[in-house]
Amino acid sequence: MTLKGRTNHYNVKFLRGYGFSVKLHDKKIQLQNNYDPFSESQTEEHFIHKLPYEKIVLQGNGYISTEALKLLTENGRQLLLVDHEGNPTTMMNGLMSSWTATDYRIGQYDTFRDKSKREYLSKQIVKAKLESQIKFLESTKNPEIICFSDPNSQFIKIKAFNTILP
């Protein structure tokens, strides 16, 4: 959150109360904060390329101009609307101008449509999880947990099962 007289290391601007506004004024983004209707509003203006905030959180009853919204989202700034308890209700991001992310997402969907690929990935996930658990238990070297020298040990059986998986 932005505190009065302090730098904002989170790059988040929090506008709340009755009458806050986000608008365009003289080709600058104007952020106006009204904590309550009886106090003086706080206003700051920035050119979009010098806007120090990555996210703008809005709470209460206010105004957002469509011009400002368009400019913010085109320049990678995120707007988040929260209710009176601070729970997120709406998140606004700009559209991606690249098809790369879309191609990756379609590739993921295609992978999970193929049964053999799904089974292979499932086995690899189980194999990695078992290997991780076995290595952790071996690293403890605690005889009360398990004795790995015992050939009847359940974990030795799991290791044998692990070699079955591709």
pLDDT value for 96: 65
Q: Specify the pairing of strand 78-82 against strand 55-64.
A: parallel
- Tell me what the mean pLDDT of segment 141-149 comes to: 63
Q: Is the pLDDT of residue 65 over 50?
A: yes
pLDDT value for 27: 87
Note down the domain range covering 23: 12-92
Q: Is the pLDDT of residue 64 over 60?
A: yes
Distance separating alpha carbons of residues 17 and 133, to the nearest angstrom: 50
Q: Is the pLDDT of residue 105 over 70?
A: yes
In degrees and rounded to multiples of 5, residue 12 shows phi and psi of -125, 135
pTM exceeding the 0.75 threshold for the entire prediction? no
Q: Which residue from 40, 21, 41 is spatially nearest to 31, judged by alpha carbons?
A: 21
Residue 1 lies in a domain: no
pLDDT value for 1: 46
Q: How many domains does the chain have?
A: 2
Residue 18: both structure tokens together: 């009755």
- 72/144 same-domain check: no
pLDDT value for 153: 56
57-61, 70-74, 133-137, 161-165: lowest mean pLDDT where? 161-165
Q: Is the pLDDT of residue 154 over 60?
A: no
Helix residue ranges per DSSP H, the chain = 66-74, 100-113, 115-140, 154-164
Are the CB atoms for 11 and 57 separated by under 8 Å?
A: no
Domain boundary residue among 92, 109, 135?
92
pLDDT value for 151: 54
Distance separating alpha carbons of residues 94 and 75, to the nearest angstrom: 8
pLDDT value for 76: 83
- Tell me what the mean pLDDT of segment 62-74 comes to: 89
- 81/28 same-domain check: yes
